Amino acid sequence: MWVFMLLLCCLLPQGAQEQMFPLQLEAPAAVLAAGSVLVNCSTECPSPSNLMLETSLLKQPNGSSPGWAAFWLSNLTEDTKIMCSVLCGDSQVIASSNITVYRFPEEVELGPLPSWQPVGENLTLRCLVVGGAPRNRLTAVLLRDQEELSRQPVTSNPEDPVLGMKLSLLAACLHLLFSPALPVTSPHLLAPRSLEVGTRRQVHCVLDGLFPASEAQVHLALGNQTLNPTVTRDGDTLNATATVRLDQEGTQKIVCNVTLAGVSRSAQKLTTVFSFPGPILRLSRTNVPKGSTVNVTCKAGPRAQVRLDGVLAPSPGEPAQLELIATDSDNGRYFICNATLEVAGELIYRSTAVQLRVLGRGHSVTIGLTVLTVLGVIITSGALLYVFGMQKRCGIYHVKQQSNSVPLTAIQQPEDTPGEEAS
């Protein structure tokens, strides 16, 4: 492996080496103003040197090894670009990342309300938002108690953020809320509609358009059980994945709740936990003489509908039955039983098969085989008698061949079992 790596280092052009051993730069995409971030530059290059982090910010080392170096950057007050570089062999590999600094507005002010307002006419409210960054991520939300009345992006013109509303909606309590971007939509919850008892399935909860995604918290629960999801954040997207497994039948609620800056969006789905052992297919006897009656019965769980060779059971939960008189043509015949269970509007199938043996035809085959075996024994015996007949009378006989040093030995036997040595 090492030799291979070294060869690669010497042979590969620089561009290929960069692709082979890219430099990873782990840093949060966003940070609250005056906050600190942990940055980690790492590479899998076998012989890295001069691993460096370039930044205008104050950096404090937080551990390193030949393959990585971590730093705390503190007091971030403006959007910044950081860059890592390393020498791998004799080529320089670079990685960079942007960190956005966000801050809450210094001031949020609701414009003066008119002293009177005609019923049924639009009232224009002005909301002044001073400061706050990044501005294009700022949203002004008009609330009456906890009820959201209107939501608009904040523009750079302080006079612009205008919230139009009908007077009838106006209430005594008006609040303005600054909110980092949390989409109006619910998370996308991908969960199975049905889940078999004891099996494991994955549940995903994905929400797009979150800013900053690194600050969003996700809560996934199955019934009253809190799941411990693996959360990945890619740009503005958050993806939480958890594995679920239940050991009891019933209907359970899966809930995903994403919270950002005190506001949450949630989604839920119901999953039906079921148990469905495969159908049990029985023949009254598996080996029957020709002409006898065979009963074939198939049953499955209490709610499953079974179908036995095309014969449908009278109702779900009941067994399906077939009665037949065994004929030669039934020998080797397979009976197939299909069971269907409806779970949460989905059909789940299980099937099983069993084979019938009818002895009538089996006898003739056995007789035929016996006759052939007896014939074979007689022919072999005849041949052996012809070859070894003389020697048997004389006792032990050795055959010696020039080209082959393995001796052939014939041992004297009673004359009535001449074929045994050949077998």
Ligand X SMILES: *[C@@H]1O[C@H](CO)[C@@H](O)[C@H](O)[C@H]1NC(C)=O
Cβ closest to ligand X, residue 34 vs residue 396: 34
- Using rule CB under 6 A, residue 226 touches ligand X: no
Cβ closest to ligand X, residue 68 vs residue 410: 68
- Using rule CB under 6 A, residue 168 touches ligand X: no
d(CA 106, CA 130): 6
Cβ closest to ligand X, residue 75 vs residue 364: 75
User: Token pair 């042979």 is at which residue?
Assistant: 11
- Out of 17, 80, 194, 239, name the contact with ligand X by CB under 6 A: 239
- Out of 155, 257, 352, 381, name the contact with ligand X by CB under 6 A: 257
Burial 205-218 (b: 16+ CB within 10 A, else e): bbbeebbbbebbeb
Residues 6+ apart with CB under 8 A from 152: 139, 140, 161, 162, 163
Residues between 404 and 423 that touch ligand X (CB under 6 A): none
Provide the minimum distance between the beta carbon of 308 and ligand X in the complex, in angstroms, as a whole number.
Answer: 8
Provide the minimum distance between the beta carbon of 173 and ligand X in the complex, in angstroms, as a whole number.
Answer: 21
- Out of 57, 70, 281, 298, name the contact with ligand X by CB under 6 A: 70
Asked if residue 274 lies in contact with residue 249, where contact means CB atoms within 8 angstroms, the answer is: yes
- Using rule CB under 6 A, residue 355 touches ligand X: no
Asked if residue 62 lies in contact with residue 73, where contact means CB atoms within 8 angstroms, the answer is: no
Amino acid at 72: W
- 76, containing H or E segment: strand 68-76
β-pair partners for 152: 140
- Out of 122, 364, 370, 413, name the contact with ligand X by CB under 6 A: 122
- Using rule CB under 6 A, residue 370 touches ligand X: no
- 393, containing H or E segment: helix 359-394
Cβ closest to ligand X, residue 65 vs residue 413: 65
Exposed (0-12), middle (13-18) or buried (19+): which is 128, by Cβ within 10 Å? Answer: middle
Residues 6+ apart with CB under 8 A from 92: 85, 86
Provide the minimum distance between the beta carbon of 31 and ligand X in the complex, in angstroms, as a whole number.
Answer: 13
- Out of 2, 3, 13, 63, name the contact with ligand X by CB under 6 A: 63
Cβ closest to ligand X, residue 35 vs residue 418: 35
Pairing of strands 91-110, 80-88: antiparallel
Exposed (0-12), middle (13-18) or buried (19+): which is 358, by Cβ within 10 Å? Answer: buried
- Using rule CB under 6 A, residue 55 touches ligand X: no
Q: Which region among 70-78, 126-134, 273-281, 367-375 touches ligand X (by CB under 6 A)?
A: 70-78
- Out of 92, 98, 370, 412, name the contact with ligand X by CB under 6 A: 98
- Out of 21, 68, 71, 274, name the contact with ligand X by CB under 6 A: 68
- Using rule CB under 6 A, residue 206 touches ligand X: yes
What 3-state class would DSSP assign to 204? strand
Q: Give the helix ranges, DSSP H, for 28-148.
A: none
- Using rule CB under 6 A, residue 164 touches ligand X: yes
- Using rule CB under 6 A, residue 224 touches ligand X: yes
User: In the stretch 284-303, what mask flags binding to ligand X with x, by CB under 6 A?
Assistant: x--------x-x--------
Residues 6+ apart with CB under 8 A from 411: 396, 421
Phi (first) and psi of residue 130, to 5 degrees: -100, 130
Burial 246-255 (b: 16+ CB within 10 A, else e): beeeeebebb
- Using rule CB under 6 A, residue 336 touches ligand X: yes
Exposed (0-12), middle (13-18) or buried (19+): which is 182, by Cβ within 10 Å? Answer: buried
- Using rule CB under 6 A, residue 266 touches ligand X: yes
- Using rule CB under 6 A, residue 214 touches ligand X: no
Provide the minimum distance between the beta carbon of 89 and ligand X in the complex, in angstroms, as a whole number.
Answer: 20
- Using rule CB under 6 A, residue 259 touches ligand X: yes
Asked if residue 272 lies in contact with residue 343, where contact means CB atoms within 8 angstroms, the answer is: yes
- Using rule CB under 6 A, residue 204 touches ligand X: yes
- Out of 56, 62, 226, 373, name the contact with ligand X by CB under 6 A: 62
- Out of 12, 35, 40, 380, name the contact with ligand X by CB under 6 A: 40
Binding site for ligand X (CB under 6 A): 40, 42, 62-63, 68, 70, 75, 77, 81, 96-98, 121-122, 164, 204, 206, 219, 223-224, 239, 241, 257, 259, 264, 266, 284, 293, 295, 307, 323, 336, 338, 349, 351
